[in-house]
Amino acid sequence: MAKSRLAAIDVGNDSIKAILGEADYELNIPNIVARDTEDRPVIGIEELDEKNPLDGIHVKVHSPALKENNAIYRVGILATKSDNATELDPGSSKSEEDQTLVMLLTTLALDAVRDENKEQFSRNKNVIDASYILGTGLPLREVKEGKDAGYRSRLLGSVHQVEFLVTPKYQGLKVNIKFEEVKVYPEGFAAYINLVMDNDLKIINKDLIDKRILIQDIGGLSTDIAVIKNRNVDDDKAQGFNLGVSESLEAIREEIRTKHGVELDSRRDVVEIITKKNDRNHIMVRGSRTSVHDITDRILLDLAKKQYRLLRNTWQKNSQTEICYFVGGGSTVLKEYIKTLNNNLDGYNIDFFEDEKESIWMMANAYHKLVKDYVRKTQKQNTKEPVKK
């Protein structure tokens, strides 16, 4: 098998964020799947290859790591158009869901089939053999429960295959994916690495390096609060909670449907309504611009209060904390509500990333830094080892 390619993948509840190779390619795919049949109907089949593959991901996934092997899926944007689309449910474990693996393997297959990687991976007719060194992560709660070891071994121990069915440009191609190494990091630790270190893991934020810090990572299904002390995550004090933004987004989506008769395809559509630069908190109802501010404000303020309670309780147990950073996609959605609560209540020293992309891509960036460092150290070690006679 050809040389392994680096992959850093954050399987977020809202979307997959992937940084591939030497950061030469990025992928962002909605984390939505829908079970499907082998021959999905396509209007204008002869024009299929003119379309963007990301708009029509249709795959069969074979892997011994899956509970439902050889299942066929619509993935990402295509899945949002299905009546049976599924997103990860609150309370579920990311490490144990088929959907996590389907998304991760499909993302790697979409990278492997690119023309730019023809020299990287061997090809025999329509079959591509791809090898990756993967850096990814799991919520703190799952790592503390020891689920990272099982997740890693399921990926490492098998060859996984993604077959592209009715997918633009890639129809009929099969990708065999093997992992040379899989590194699974706790998400809170990854956020800290990204805060204080550059791409070569050199310290860039000296003001933070010896501070006592909280990092509150608000995701779709969970919230992790990492407690950083003496440059390390305090495993005993770090906590994971089954509280994310998904349920609130689902509640907003349902209320918009009930009150205005408007069907939104996915939670991602709700996020877009809440965060867009123009016409924020507005939708079109029968062609008229309509405010949904009353719905979004009430539901998101309620969630922000719960998140603030987590902050308060954690800070009380770690009274010498100097600052709390809010990161993750959920913090982007709740930023203004949490800031307002903090100004009116305790006035903790908190900070958000004004660059929304930086906050949302923080985990993927961190995994890329860490897995790159792992490769660098491994290569260094291998060159030092004496040659056996």
Q: Tell me the pLDDT tens digit for each residue of 372-387.
A: 989 988 888 877 665 5
Q: Note the maximum CA span of the chain.
A: 80
Cα Rg, the chain, nearest whole Å: 22
Task: Work out the average pLDDT over 246-257.
Answer: 93
Provide the angle, in degrees to the nearest 10, between the axes of the packed helices 267-275 and 246-260: 90
- 189 and 226 in contact (C-beta within 8 Å)? yes
pTM for this model (two decimals): 0.86
Q: How far apart are CA 22 and CA 24, in angstroms?
A: 5
- CB-based burial, 302-311: b 16+ in 10 Å, e otherwise: ebbeebbebb
pLDDT of residue 12: 86
Q: Express each pLDDT in 66-115 by its tens digit.
A: 999 999 999 999 998 888 888 777 767 889 999 999 999 999 999 999 99
The two tokens of residue 328 are 């993750």
pLDDT of residue 318: 92
The two tokens of residue 320 are 């010498």
Instruction: Name the residue with higher pLDDT: 330 or 308.
Output: 308
Mean pLDDT computed over every residue of the chain: 88
pLDDT exceeds cutoff 80 at 205? no
Residue carrying the six token digits 């021959």: 39
pLDDT of residue 386: 57
Q: Which domains does the chain have, with CATH numbers?
A: 5-186 (3.30.420.40)
pLDDT of residue 354: 65
Q: How far apart are CA 290 and CA 236, in angstroms?
A: 48
pLDDT of residue 208: 73
Q: Express each pLDDT in 131-142 by its tens digit.
A: 999 999 998 888
pLDDT of residue 1: 38
Task: Work out the average pLDDT over 200-209.
Answer: 75
Task: Work out the average pLDDT over 210-221.
Answer: 86
Nearest in space to 184 (alpha carbons), one of 363, 47, 4, 314: 363
Backbone phi, psi, residue 73, to 5°: -135, 145
Helices (H) and strands (E) in the chain, counts: 12, 18
For residue 35, the cross-strand partners are 73
Q: How far apart are CA 106 and CA 36, in angstroms?
A: 15
